[in-house]
Amino acid sequence: MTIDMTNNRVPYGLLTEEEKAALHEHENAGGAFEHHCDGVWFKSAPSWLYSVVYRTIPLPKTQDVIAWDRLPDWVEWVARDRDSRVFAADIEPQQYAGSWTSTSFRIIRIDDFPGIVVQIGTCDWRDSKQRRPR
């Protein structure tokens, strides 16, 4: 599980190894930071000084990347569930108990289609539903 460091108030030198790792993972992902100085937060690149408090600025939320051109023409909607399983449907699916349901018999996991790979985005699964672009 990733540690949320957006509300950190602990100096870098006093963080646990897991918290430090979460900061470095954010840096490696191209994330931005703020540091605390004299009661004010400043956006800055981290220098990882022992006595400085750093917090992460959340990365922008991104949608899943769908290879629409490789999916059958009947697929009109795609959505990812809470467990990161991605489904294709011909009728707009609705959220139900951590997943998606549809009034159609055509709601199929994307990995049932050979050669289709979805690049999972950073948005919450509840915001992952997409309609085929026109």
Please report the pLDDT score of residue 30 as a whole number: 87
Nearest to 103 by CA among 73, 81, 76, 126: 76
Q: What SS3 string covers 52-104?
A: CEEEEECCCCCCCECCHHHCCCCCCEEEECCCCCEEEECCCCEEECCEEECCC
Residue given tokens 């489904």 in the structure block: 87
Please report the pLDDT score of residue 108 as a whole number: 87
Q: How far apart are CA 4 and CA 25, in angstroms?
A: 11
Q: What 3-state class would DSSP assign to 13?
A: helix
Q: Residue ranges per domain, the chain?
A: 12-57, 68-131
Please report the pLDDT score of residue 104 as a whole number: 76
- Note the pTM of the prediction, 2 decimals: 0.63
**Cβ neighbours around 79 below 10 Å, total:** 26
Nearest to 125 by CA among 88, 82, 90, 86: 82
**Which residues of the chain have a pLDDT value below 70?**
1
Q: How far apart are CA 132 and CA 126, in angstroms?
A: 17
End-to-end CA distance of the chain: 37
> Tens of pLDDT along 96-115?
888 888 887 788 889 888 88
Please report the pLDDT score of residue 29 as a whole number: 84
